A and B are shown apart, each in its own frame.
Chain A
Amino acid sequence: MSTLLDFEKPIAELEGKVKELRHLQNGSELDLSEEIARLESRAAKLLAATYAKLTAWQKAQVARHPDRPRFKDYVAELVADFTPLAGDRAFADDAAIQGGLGRFRGRSVMVIGQEKGADTEERVRHNFGMARPEGYRKAVRLMRLAERFGLPVLTFVDTPGAHPGIDAEERGQAEAIARSIACCLELEVPIVSVIVGEGGSGGAIALAAADRVLMLEHSIYSVISPEGCAAILWRAAEKAPEAAEALKFTAQDLLGLGLVDEVVPEPLGGAHRGRQTTIRAVGEAIERHLAELSGRDGPALVAARREKFLAMGRPTEG
């Protein structure tokens, strides 16, 4: 584990001691096994206790953890014969949004998602998962292609937001996002979205106006970053933890508000401590939802998807 979040440090300390004792044990006659077991159980308890009541701000940090599985990891594990497709056919290929054809549990699908990149070099290349208009236009192209061949669309959402820049504005960032949302909502094939990390604002919903929107347990999905919100409403960036709380952007909050359909549990200590387990859980959840959606015809899918979104935030009857 390369990156430690602040609140993980006491856990890491205990785990470090366990390691040290194990090392000592090797070259010594002393029996340290009791002490090791004691510390191990303390570390496990602390981890469980910490993750059982993460604050919204802590969840934001977990959601952005650099070791968290990303688009490429999900595709490598869940999609066979992945065949990346590139370009918006108008201007460029945007590495912030990846996509292509592949087989998920045997069936052909179109997979699309933001990729943040694993190390500094990759992050720069993928622009930290912040797409430009050509990224959203590529997404639209791939969704339409999927529709032509009756293939379900899977999207993995993980972005701080759409790229704010002169070039992006010049080429119609807003229009590109609007078209992408509209495309999701018109699509006559099933579309399942998973918010796997950070679901940042318009750049996220551009790929998440879906039949089913799933969220990983410690992912977030927000109209604005807690830092941005604090800067505007509190006029103080250090109020980000308060803003995080107020924005109610955790998976649990959003499930309660009826804005997402399911929360996919992460292993204890977050996805970054159990990458394979997390990816498998996501795969199983997608499979379940795809099975429910398959067999419905295009217009029925569109109608149900629209009804679902139109019902959001409306007063509940009775």
Chain B
Amino acid sequence: MNWLTSYVRPRIRALVERGTPKPEVPENLWHQCPSCERMIFHRDLEANQRVCPHCSHHMRVGPEFRFKTLLDEGSWQRLELPKVPVDPLRFRDSKRYTDRLKEAQAKTKAQDALEAAEGRIGGLPVVLAVMNFEFMGGSMGSAVGEAFVAAAERALASRAAFVVVTASGGARMQEGTLSLVQMARTTIAVERVKEAGLPYIVVLTDPTTGGVTASFAMLGDVHIAEPGAVIGFAGARVIEQTIREKLPPGFQKAEYLLAHGMVDMVVHRFQLRATLARLLDLLLRPVPLPAPVEPVVATPAVEPVEPVADGEPG
């Protein structure tokens, strides 16, 4: 039935209802994997952290998802992000930039393409900033830059690790050179975090390109990439047009970056939280936590004491 309900039926519906407004019913209950093209029931997809159960393709996810899956349950709250002047250039192409912004805000229910939360991972304090590719391709303008700076400042104030999940097409053209200088502004924020002796970890997800890669995304103490994520500076099409050659297979994929020394590891989404927790633990707890203090009682020589089965390790 899957292919019937998810493929044939919409097709027929589209034929029948051509020209009429789309009915307000929930979108397909079935998703097609963009990689293997097989259909996945939406609940299975959610249960699988939006990783294709057939081919392991990692689909794009947003800030809320990352907060929920990476931070210790109940430990976190969102940071309020600073407001910035909107549309400083009064930019207009075929559409006004302000209209594009409003559409993106309506679509994502977010202010802009970067959101942040403060919480814990494995008990250690963390500020987690996450980019949202759904919001104008995750592009970086003043709002993203300022939010990034604010998140880094919070990490400094809380003596927390700074973890950033990137997903961006690069700088936001509609803000012109103001978006270009965000590369410098975010870099300053990163430098301050590092100078304070706090870890700065970057999780590169699909896609991370352009000015975001060429600034804070490549300055991490540790770079983790999700499998298959496209990560690079220039877009593949631009390169193809420039050199008029076909690109090698796997070009700019996470695994390619690993092979070329640009990331430390490629980590499956299921292992991401545990990997971050382990890294932070290793960096921030150089000496293991003291073992749970055993009551020092002169052992009576009479009988061996049964250990109390409380099952709560330190």
Contact = CB atoms under 8 A, between A and B. Distances in A.
B84 interface: yes
Interface in B238-288: 238-239, 242-243, 245, 247-248, 251-252, 260-262
B213 to A, nearest CB: 4
B179 interface: yes
A223 B173 contact: yes
B262 A172 contact: yes
Contacts of A209: 184, 187
A110 interface: no
A1 interface: no
A182 interface: yes
Contacts of A306: 188, 191
Interface residues on A, range: 35 or more
Give the residue among A170, A173, A179 with the most B Cβ atoms within 10 A.
A170
Interface in B185-208: 185, 187-188, 190-191
A205 B184 contact: yes
A229 B215 contact: no
Interface stretch (A4-12, A25-33, A245-253): A245-253
Contacts of A185: 184, 187-188, 191
B219 A313 contact: no
Interface in A219-236: 221-224, 229, 232-234
Contact of B94 (A234, A248, A257): A234
Contacts of A52: none
Given A249-B177, A259-B178, A313-B84, A169 B145 contact: no
A257 B183 contact: no
Interface in B37-63: none
Contacts of A232: 173
Contacts of B185: 309-310, 312
A13 interface: no
Interface stretch (A111-119, A138-146, A160-168): A160-168
B153 to A, nearest CB: 10
A174 B239 contact: no
Interface of A: 162, 164-166, 168-175, 177-179, 181-182, 184-186, 201-202, 204-206, 209, 221-224, 229, 232-234, 242-243, 246-249, 254, 257, 259, 306, 309-310, 312-315
Interface of B: 83-85, 88-89, 91-94, 142, 145-146, 149, 171, 173-181, 183-185, 187-188, 190-191, 210-211, 213-219, 232-235, 238-239, 242-243, 245, 247-248, 251-252, 260-262
